[in-house]
Amino acid sequence: MRLLLVEDDDHVAAALSAILARHGFQVTHARNGEEALQALLPAGTPPFGVVLLDLGLPDQDGYEVCGKIRKRTSIPVIMVTARSDVRSRIHGLNLGADDYVVKPYDTGELLARIHAVARRRAGAAGASASGGNVVRLGQVAVELETRRVTVDGADVPLTRKEFDLLALLAQRPGVVFRREQIISEVWRTSWEGTGRTLEVHVASLRSKLGMPALIETVRGVGYRLVAPAAAP
């Protein structure tokens, strides 16, 4: 996922960018509001999945930047600031921010919030494209609201984690999800020992769906869902 980090402190930005990169994000750093707005303009590039917006910017207030972003795009915006009073939070949310994180913050919580707003956006996009909250991949249908999965119309019983894993991959077919990102999203942890559990769940999904090629292993990175070719 591409992420736009708007932060005027280079040291803070470098440290946070390194953490985000380890969790599979492609980070673009903007040092002020004008750079942030310019970064959102170029056509022909993949859109940002999330904007992390500091409010204390040197050229213009972060609230003003948020308002301008919201007029241009529906990209989720998470305000990251030391302003902890309730009025500031309410003001930010009223301007169109999707979430509000107060410094100092726990990195794990920030990652969880980033994934949460991105997941909500992906779910809304999938519902809009399909006319309902259902993702269809060839003969596979994933009903996000009812947590039902069918193959050629036949129900496939999945455990809670198996469904969460499939739903995550299915909402962005072809996109490679890093192991760390999947573990953070599905298991809500960064514990490396969960990696073996992930492998077991992937194997179980392939078996239950009867489609071993549906979930592709990208060696050294993670997994992606390969949408089945449409029947002629």
Confidence of residue 108 (pLDDT cuts 50, 70, 90): confident
Q: What is the pLDDT of residue 128?
A: 45
Residues 164-188: tens digit of each pLDDT: 899 989 878 888 888 888 887 787 6
Q: What is the pLDDT of residue 32?
A: 96
Residue 35: CB atoms within 10 Å? 16
Q: What is the pLDDT of residue 232?
A: 43
Q: What is the pLDDT of residue 14?
A: 96
Q: What is the pLDDT of residue 225?
A: 92
Residues 54-72: tens digit of each pLDDT: 999 999 999 999 989 988 8
Question: What is the per-residue burial (b if ≥16 Cβ within 10 Å, else e) of 93-102?
Answer: eebebbbbbe
d(CA 52, CA 29): 10
160-170 vs 194-209: helix axis angle to the nearest 10? 80
- Domains of the chain listed by start with CATH number: 2-115 (3.40.50.2300), 133-225 (1.10.10.10)
Q: Answer yes or no: are the C-beta atoms of 42 and 17 closer than 8 Å.
A: no
Residues 124-158: tens digit of each pLDDT: 554 444 445 788 888 899 988 888 999 999 999 99
Q: Give one word for 15, left, alpha or beta, with left for phi > 0 and alpha for psi -120 to 50.
A: alpha
Looking at every residue in the chain, the average pLDDT score rounds to: 84
